[in-house]
Structure 1
Amino acid sequence: MEIRRATTVAELVAAEHLYDGPAREEWAARFLASPGHLMLIAYTEDGFPAGFVSGVEMTHPDKGTEMCLYELSVDEAHRRRGTGRALTEALLAAARERGCHGAWVGVDTDDDPALATYRATGAADEGVFAMLGWELPE
C-alpha cells in the first residue's frame, strides 16, 4: 500500500467509489485549488485507490491552525488491514509538517470501526457534541 497526496482532478475522480456520491470535476478542481485542503489516497500495488483521508486546515485567532480530519473511507474489500490507521497517521504527519497545533475529527458515537481507528492512532475522547447543519440552496 502506498499513500500519496492527490494533486489532480483525475486522481480525485478515480477515487469516487470511496465517496458518499459521485465526484464532480468542478468541485474536485476547487478542492485542489483551496489552500489548506488535503487528500491522501492509499493505492494498492496495482494502482487501485483503496482508501482516502481528507483534511482541512482551520485557523482561528486563539487556537492557531488545526487540522480537521474531514472524511476517511476505505474500500470494503480492503478493510481490516490497517489502511484507515495508516491514512489517519499520514494526515497527522502532514498536519505536523504544515505547522498545525492539533487535529480533530467528528465521529458518530455508534461508529465503532471509526472510533477504534482514531483511538488506535492516539486520539483522545473530548466528549459528546451535537452536529447541526444547514442546506444552502443554490
Structure 2
Amino acid sequence: MEIRRVTQVEAVNAAGHLFDTVPGQEATERFLTDECHHLLIAYVDDVPAGMVTGVEMTHPDKGTEMFLYELGVDESFRGRGVGRALVSALADLSRERGCYGVWTITDKDNAAALATYRRAGGVPEAGQVVLTWTFDQP
C-alpha cells in the first residue's frame, strides 16, 4: 500500500468512487487550492483503495488542530488496515504541520469507524454533543 497526498483534480476524479457522491469540479478545485485542506489517497497496486480528508482549524487561544473530515475505504479493501493507515498518515501530517491534535465525529453506531479510529490511537471524548445547521442549497 502507498499513501499519497493528492493535489490534482485528475487524481480525485480517478478516486471518485471513494467519496459519498461524485466529486464536483468547483468544490474539488477549491479544496485542493487551500493549503489548509488535505487529501490522502491509499493505493494498492496503483488502484485507489481509500481516502481521508483533513482540514486545519486555527483558533486564537488554542492554536491549530486537524479535523478529520471524512474517511472512505472501497468495500473490496475493507478489513485490511487501509483506514487505519490513512488515519495514522493524517495524524503524521498533522504533526508535521504543527497541529496540536486531530479530532473527528462519527455516529455512535458506526462500529467500523469507531474501531478504525481507536486502532489508530483515537480516544472517545465523553459528554460531547454535535449540533448542526442545514441551509437550503441555491
> TM (normalized to structure 2)?
0.95
Identity across aligned pairs (percent)?
Answer: 52
Q: Which runs of 5+ in 2 are unaligned?
A: none
In the TM superposition, residue 136 of structure 1 has moved relative to its aligned partner by 4.3
Query: What residue number does 1:16 align with?
Result: 16
> TM (normalized to structure 1)?
0.95
Q: For 1:113 and 1:89, how far apart are their aligned partners in 2?
A: 16
Q: Which runs of 5+ in 1 are unaligned?
A: none
Query: What residue number does 2:38 align with?
Result: 38
Identify the range of structure 1 (111-120 vs 127-136) with the bigger mean alpha-carbon deviation.
127-136
Q: For 2:86 and 2:116, how far apart are their aligned partners in 1?
A: 10
Q: For 2:81 and 2:131, how far apart are their aligned partners in 1?
A: 28
Over the residues paired in the alignment, what is the CA RMSD in angstroms? Answer: 1.0
Residues 107-118 of structure 1: pairs in structure 2 closer than 5 A: 107-118=106-117
In the TM superposition, residue 131 of structure 1 has moved relative to its aligned partner by 3.4
Q: For 1:65 and 1:90, how far apart are their aligned partners in 2?
A: 17
Q: For 1:50 and 1:84, how far apart are their aligned partners in 2?
A: 9
Q: For 1:86 and 1:130, how far apart are their aligned partners in 2?
A: 26
Query: What residue number does 1:25 align with?
Result: 25
AA partner of residue 95 (structure 2): R
